[in-house]
Chains A and B, each alone.
Chain A
Amino acid sequence: MAEYTAAERVALARNTARPGVVDYVQGLFTDFFEQKGDRLCGEDPSIFGGIGLFHGRPVTVIGHRKGKDLEERMACRFGMPNPEGYRKAGRLMDQAEKFGRPVITFIDTPGAYPGLEAEARGQGEAIARMLAKMSALTVPTIAIVTGEGGSGGALALGVGNRVLMLENAVYSVLSPEGFAAILWKDASRSDEACEVMKLTAADLLELGVIDRVIPEPVGGAHTDVAAMVRTLDRVLQEELAGLSRMSGHALFTGRYEKFRAMGAKALRKERT
């Protein structure tokens, strides 16, 4: 593994050439059918989702889409979903549950979109529902942080039985810039924030927030997308095989216990 600083990994995770959910869907799944719309009020392209075959087995795939060219990036608000995106994701997960399909999510977002309409249509409620819904699925769920895992907007697709992370991906409570601005009133201290935030894959593995780090090609996933896809294909086969042996009840309970234990070591008893 190459040794990068946390700030360098943040830059790699944000590299516009870095593959995203659409690239991975092309590389990993066959016969993919994209599903659109939340059936309530709109279609948000910043969440990409649908049904595909993974080595012949139907799976539901959902991920953040950042867009390839400027026009698409604008339409996707640079990967920052509106509530419609999360509600579409929820709809797709309901179908996955109904038809017994495993769910695979690809996480890559700076965060949920902080906009006026997003608030008016219940951004907080949309994310909360996703967390509740995903926590209770009885099908196998695998979440992969492929780029930026930014805040609640990332976690909304992240309540998996297994949570995996690419070697140079980052996952944090807030962007390093936002973190520095809130805590030190100085967004320019973001490099410093990167170091104290514990946002790299290695840090998060140690904290028990993720289950596995997936190695990237030397120089990052974008330098050899085909190789990255091959690695992901092998890892997903392994992970899915493991989860497929479990009953729906075991998948639900196992996931609950996994997230129930988050932060267990962050507690202390104070004398009263």
Chain B
Amino acid sequence: MSSVFQRRRQKLLALKAMHSVSASVHPHSSEVCKNCGGEVPHRDLVAAGYVCPLCGYHHPIGAYYRLSQILDRGSFRELDEELASADPLDFPGYRQKLEKAQAKTGMNEGVVTALGRIGGMKVAVGVLDNRFFMGSMSAALGEKVTRLVEQAAKSRLPLILFSASGGARMQEGILSLMQMAKTSAALERFSRRGGLYISVLTHPTTGGVTASFASLGDIMLAEPGALIGFAGPRVIEQTIGQELPEGFQSAEYLLEHGFLDAVVPRSQMRETLIRLLKLHGKAGANRDG
């Protein structure tokens, strides 16, 4: 089964995935958990998929690393990798910042879109990466998501999007805002054609991404403890003039308020997706070779 090409694709994804997590860390060193402050040997953290073994905190992970955890080996085929922002408003300092982010992450934009297989089932999948401008919505990010949705519609594939975003890309102004309409319109069309869309919210998902494609899934999942909201906590505190309750806007809070189907730990994400794809059978998945 495993062709030369599949092996090569797997190798490429593995390389990118390595770049996609803290690249500078020494393999024998320890890391301090951002959440509980506990010291965790690096290899234990890696073995747990960057979930703290002490407190269960799900550290944000890069898009390629996420894909390497979710997809069948050798099935990753990246789409529109070359798409990048053209600095449409000629915004002071934006170009330099983009170049820096590109150099740091090895990505051209804040989302990776791909075709691949999960449990043998073909899917269209996108993962936002918050190391790139906090996964904020640029026109290029909106375009990549929209193309993925359209590709899923055309090839009759189920669609899975992992969101992680700080909201709008300020440097692209109103064009950033318009991506909310563009992506939502594409998803509505996809939905009316019977397409299955599984939306997975990861830490943090806020602003325009929450108020567009991330909230439109047929199935809504989130990672434990993920911050999910429209307005940011600081803005809300300023508005209401009081501190927010513990756990406000967490994945568990959203589950309780009726906006999620399930909170799924990272270690169970792949098998949960396989189960959901199977449950939708031919309606969602396309099993052809």
Contact = CB atoms under 8 A, between A and B. Distances in A.
B178 A136 contact: no
A123 B211 contact: yes
B47 interface: no
Given A116-B244, A122-B259, A263 B179 contact: yes
Interface stretch (B33-41, B63-71, B233-241): B233-241
A173 B86 contact: no
A213 to B, nearest CB: 15
B84 interface: yes
A121 B212 contact: no
B108 A155 contact: no
A266 interface: yes
B175 A132 contact: no
B195 interface: no
B248 A173 contact: no
Contacts of A151: 168, 177, 208
B230 A118 contact: yes
A267 B143 contact: yes
B210 A266 contact: no
A5 B208 CA distance: 28
A219 interface: no
Contacts of A114: 230-232, 235-236, 239
Contacts of A249: none
Contact of B173 (A127, A198, A256): A198
A182 B170 contact: yes
B248 A119 contact: yes
Interface string B71-95: 0000000000111111111011000
A116 B231 CA distance: 9
Contact of A131 (B89, B172, B181, B235): B181
Contacts, number: 204
Contacts of B239: 113-115
B83 A259 contact: no
B256 to A, nearest CB: 9
Contacts of B181: 131, 135, 155, 158-159, 259, 262
Given A136-B185, A209-B178, A269-B84, A131 B212 contact: yes
Nearest to A154: B177
A260 B146 contact: yes
23 contacts: A115-B239, A119-B229, A122-B257, A122-B259, A124-B211, A125-B210, A125-B211, A125-B215, A132-B188, A133-B188, A152-B180, A152-B207, A152-B208, A172-B173, A173-B174, A173-B176, A199-B174, A209-B175, A256-B185, A262-B178, A263-B142, A266-B86, A270-B82
Given A128-B212, A260-B146, A266-B85, 8 more contacts: A116-B248, A118-B230, A120-B253, A155-B181, A172-B177, A178-B235, A197-B173, A262-B139
Interface of A: 112-116, 118-125, 127-129, 131-133, 135-136, 151-152, 155-156, 158-159, 171-174, 178-179, 182-183, 196-199, 204, 207, 209, 255-256, 259-260, 262-272
